[in-house]
Amino acid sequence: MHPELSRFLPTLPGCLGHTGTTPNAPLHGLRVLIPGCGHAFEAGCFAALGAHVVALDFSAAAVAAAREVLTDWKGELVHGDFFTYAPNEGFDLIFERAFLCALPRHLWPDYARQTARLLKPGGIVAGFFFYGEEGKGPPFAAAPETLTQLLGAYFTRIDDQAVANPLPLFPGERWQVWQRGKTELAARLE
Ligand SMILES: C[S@@+](CC[C@H](N)C(=O)[O-])C[C@H]1O[C@@H](n2cnc3c(N)ncnc32)[C@H](O)[C@@H]1O
């Protein structure tokens, strides 16, 4: 598991204001979404800690690849579009890994809005964000002020650190944790 993720996961219930977690399943009762999951390599980590995981991708090939990885698990693998995904229940955590930077920049405001919409009040989006000069892509790097503006409209950043072993393709990767406001954002999410 990525060191940043393994350090973060035990702190997640506390960030969400949960007390008295189950020692062997500290994420029991939490709902985790992995949008643009690709092979969904990280899905098993969350599920192994007791979370209910939804891994979603709009590519049939990605979903088939994820199915090969996710043998013997109880989560959901959804073949669908993140932007129109409308589950009955919100999520506690959305895990970001190479999804935002795969999207053309004109979709970024929709990404921020949909992420906020899919999270419960107080929910968290955490993961690896690709910083750099906003040149051609994909992957599409984000300048620091771009993400601050984009996600700051709905979230408060509660962690930000350089990634110990960034992927060669993502040299400016940073681990970040953003938390949605605890009140309903109905007006801003219309
Ligand atoms: C660069 S890959 C990252 C995969 C994975 N998260 C990883 O870290 O290896 C981006 C993924 O996002 C998926 N994707 C792009 N736009 C999407 C959308 N609107 N809805 C769902 N999946 C999408 C692509 O099919 C692709 O599998």
Q: What CATH number is associated with residue 66?
A: 3.40.50.150
Tell me if 19 is assigned to some domain.
no
Please list the residues that pair with 33 across neighbouring strands.
54, 94
* pLDDT number for residue 170: 79
The residue range of the domain holding 83 is 5-14+27-189
Length of the chain: 190
Number of domains in the chain: 1
Tell me if 22 is assigned to some domain.
no
Calculate how far, in angstroms, residue 100's C-alpha sits from the geometric centre of ligand 1: 8
Which protein residue has the closest C-alpha to ligand 1 atom 25?
59
Calculate how far, in angstroms, residue 127's C-alpha sits from the geometric centre of ligand 1: 14
Using CB distances shorter than 6 Å, the residues near ligand 1 are 35-39, 56-59, 62, 81-83, 97-99, 102-103
Q: pLDDT tens-digit profile of 26-74?
A: 999 999 999 999 999 999 999 999 999 999 999 999 999 999 999 888 8
Burial class for 88, CB neighbours closer than 10 Å (0-12, 13-18, 19+): exposed
Q: What is the pTM of this model?
A: 0.95
